[in-house]
A and B are shown apart, each in its own frame.
Chain A
Amino acid sequence: MTAVGEEIIDLGEGVFGILSQPPPDRRKSVGVIIFNSGILHRPGPFRMHVRLARRLAELGYATLRFDFPGVGDSLPRATRPPMQIVRDVLERAQQHTGCTRFVAGGICSAADLGWQLALEDERIAGVLMIDGLARHGRYHLLGRLMRAKRKSLGDWMDVVRRIVMRTKAPPTIETVENMRDWPAPGVERRELRRLLDRGTELFILFSGGTSYFLHPGQFYDTYGADARAPGVDFHYWPQCDHMMYSEIDRAAFIETVSDWLQKRFPD
């Protein structure tokens, strides 16, 4: 249906995927798996995953998108942990593409999943981590101060309104850390070391649209000295929102990821 060719593949248990296949003469040994951004179905925010998959396939990377159980066309809700599901998806992707190594991940919880899968399965040679794990710390505080400085009078009135509303609302313990499946603080440094020791390539991008990542210094504080390792490609796009609403950001994202893949996985 496109120049690169797309096919529907059965991933079992009521789940199917759309595989963007490269032209046979351009096929690389590494495939790509893009996970759902939250509950948004497989075309991704503003269709970005469709465009990314087709672009990567043009460049030779077979790219799979699918809906997790309970999202989009995967009607039944999950009866198994996400990690079991993605392991099976990986098996099927390998059968269909012939690739033995994959890059996996996506935005938000998809970034977390890509990271976790890489820790468990050595076939994951690269991780796409967009708005993934980061801890607060001193740079978060600095970022908050910088944001506060930029606020208009209207913004401040909005803040006061929200504080008033919060005092009326029942107390909540919901924070990014306990809404996301993040390990205890400090574990991520050991995990990064393991991934780097194994030669895993990491594309890490933080947008300016989250409430927990406000300053690039947070990244280096979170992951320590290994954050500057050659296998880590870190980007901070403060003017980009979490869902890449702007076409400028989506186009830049597709280009940046494409360049990264070609440099890190040329064959």
Chain B
Amino acid sequence: MSAALQPLLLDGDDRGLFAVFHPAQGRVRASLLICPPFLHEHAMSYRLFAMLGDALAQRGISVLRFDYHGMGDSSGSDVAFSLRGACADARIALEALRSRTGGAAPIVLGARGGAFAAAALADAMPLRGLWLWQPVVDGALYLTGLKELDQAHRQSTRRYPNGGGERIAPGDRTVVGLPCTAGLLEELASAHIERAAKWPPLTLLEPADAPASFPGTRRIALATGLYEWVTRVDIDHFPPPAVRDLADRLAASPEIPR
């Protein structure tokens, strides 16, 4: 393993989490926790956030990424994932980051559905900054989109030239291919992010032509190649120059000492 990347198994209240720590190279300027997207978007974006974590570490920012319980390499079956659990996992991961970087308040990045966990941290404790990447603000709207995407894939004659996409075992619930509980669907349907007065400085990472999730906020426009994955189910490459450029812009954020 290279010294630039440290895979970890975090234990917390029977929620064994897989995490990756990218220690800052050179002078440590800040620390960052990445709350990743969930469901199919977790796998779609995994490489992107691995590359971004590495690029930020090279710019003096220590980064910790993690998989939620029931996602990726963390413990738990697929149906173990819940929104409430994701918020608990983010706290475990934040403690793991703090234990490696000292007590200074970290920055938290919430990507897509990970914005729910990041916002919950910002509601609960002092942070140096909050970065939200194409955040899911309205859970019900998000769920509607997921169901439409799921239906499109199940009916796709390219994916299923011989039919068969509509098969679901009796009693099973799935969303974009992944098993889930009725509880998760209910949580998502009622989830909503409200900006709180006590939030730290907020930065949005969104495509330039997308409406701002929170108007009047500092915004970094995502380059082509960094945002299209949210509409896909099949993984694609991410352009390294665009990731490096984004890391430069994030590392120049006002909340990070030069």
Contacts and interface: CB of A to CB of B under 8 A. Distances in A.
A14 B5 contact: yes
Contacts of A41: 43, 46-47
A245 B177 contact: yes
Given A14-B2, A18-B73, A246-B177, A72 B50 contact: yes
Where chain A touches its partner, the secondary structure class is loop
Where chain B touches its partner, the secondary structure class is loop
Interface size class of chain B, counting residues whose CB lies under 8 Å from the partner chain:
35 or more
Nearest to B150: A245
Contacts of A39: 47, 235, 237
Interface string A61-88: 0000000000111011000000000000
A168 interface: no
B165 A1 contact: no
A40 B235 contact: yes
B250 to A, nearest CB: 18
Given A39-B235, A40-B235, A41-B47, A47 B71 contact: yes
B85 interface: no
Interface string B155-177: 00101111111011100101001
Nearest to B160: A241
A241 B164 CA distance: 9
Contact of B160 (A50, A208, A251): A208
- Which of A13, A16, A243, A246 has the most chain B CB atoms inside 10 A of its CB? A246
A14 B1 contact: yes
B51 interface: yes
B11 interface: yes
A242 B18 CA distance: 27
A243 B234 contact: yes
Contact of A1 (B2, B9, B51, B179): B9
Contact of B165 (A2, A40, A246): A246
Interface string A231-247: 00000001111110111
A130 B4 CA distance: 34
A114 interface: no
Contact of A245 (B73, B75, B153, B161): B153
Contacts of A158: 157
A10 interface: yes
Contact of B20 (A47, A73, A241, A246): A73
B75 A247 contact: no
A245 B159 contact: yes
B168 A248 contact: yes
A147 B160 CA distance: 11
A199 interface: no
A126 interface: no
Interface string B8-41: 1101000010101000000000000000000010
Contacts of B9: 1, 6-8
Interface in A30-62: 38-43, 45-47, 50-51
Contact of B4 (A7, A75, A155): A75
A15 interface: yes
Contacts of A243: 234
B78 A47 contact: yes
A178 to B, nearest CB: 20
Interface string B65-76: 000000111110
Contacts of B71: 47
Q: In the A-B complex, list the 4 residue pairs whose CB atoms are closest, starting with the nearest.
A: A239-B164, A1-B16, A14-B2, A208-B162
Interface of B: 1-2, 4-5, 7-9, 11, 16, 18, 20, 40, 43, 46-47, 50-51, 54, 71-75, 77-78, 153-154, 157, 159-165, 167-169, 172, 174, 177-179, 233-235, 237
14 contacts: A6-B16, A38-B235, A39-B237, A46-B43, A46-B178, A47-B178, A71-B47, A76-B2, A150-B162, A158-B157, A239-B162, A246-B174, A247-B168, A248-B167
Given A239-B162, A245-B233, 4 more contacts: A1-B16, A47-B72, A50-B73, A247-B179
